[in-house]
Chain A
Amino acid sequence: DIQMTQSPASLSASLGETVSIECLASEDIYSNLAWYQQKPGKSPQLLIYYASSLQDGVPSRFSGSESGTQYSLEINSLQPEDEGDYFCQQSYKFPLTFGSGTKLEIK
């Protein structure tokens, strides 16, 4: 199975700041990487697919990038509603696998 190593496990940042979350794939996944946001008590929401494509309706302050097998989610100009859990998922090979998640707290 492809292992997705996600960091950091938790993150605390202030309103207006920029944060970055990383996922490292154990092998090449050829940009087949999605990012999700899950707010407390809610279902996960797709933010980004194919490493950098923004899902319809997602604010442009969310962006994704890649460098080799390392994938990043950047959130610019943090807003209160950005608080929650974020996780990555590789969609290159079955079984689909997820990162361990990052808890983002807005100070």
Chain B
Amino acid sequence: EIQLQESGPGLVKPSQSLSLTCSVTGYTITSGYDWSWIRKFPGNKMEWMGYISNSGSTNYNPSLKIRISITRDTSKNQFFLQLNSVTTEDTATYYCAREDNNYVMDAWGQGASVTVSS
């Protein structure tokens, strides 16, 4: 059974970078699927941030394109989110997920709450 688990700092200062790790067990991220980051803001709005494919290519939400980077470490079966120049508006719960061939998320992590505050 696949499991995804987010980890990283729960508090980030404005203008700094937000970095999160998604550790995947039960499936090898190079075997297939795309590996996504999604965030849920206070008030429940959800935003798809982007993915890294099983071959290592990336696809980002244009609204974040200049600030976001998704990378991976295949030896550890992990993928990562970096979001630069954060503001208080980036305060959210961040989820990693597996995205299937139809661009539907069929497995999600538990979520990591990140607050941007000085």
Mask, A78-107, CB within 8 Å of B = 1, is 000000010101010011111011000000
Contact with A along B54-81 (1 / 0, CB 8 A): 0000010111000000000000000000
A94-B59, A95-B62, A95-B63 are known contacts. Are A46 and B46 too (CB-CB below 8 A)?
Answer: no
CB-contact partner of A46 in B95, B104, B110, under 8 A: B104
Closest A residue by C-beta to B102: A91
Label chain B's interface by main secondary structure. Answer: loop
B residues contacting A by CB (< 8 A) are 44-48, 59, 61-63, 95, 102-106, 108-111
Which A residues contact B (CB, under 8 angstroms)? 32, 34, 36, 42-46, 49-50, 55, 85, 87, 89, 91, 94-98, 100-101
Q: Is the interface of A mostly helix, strand, loop or mixed?
A: loop
* A101: contacting residue among B46, B59, B95, CB under 8 A: B46
Instruction: Tell me, rounded to whole Å, the shortest Cβ–Cβ distance linking A9 to chain B.
Output: 9
Report the separation of the CA atoms of residues A67 and B103 in the bound assembly, to the nearest whole angstrom: 21
Closest approach, in angstroms, between the C-beta of A55 and any C-beta of chain B?
7
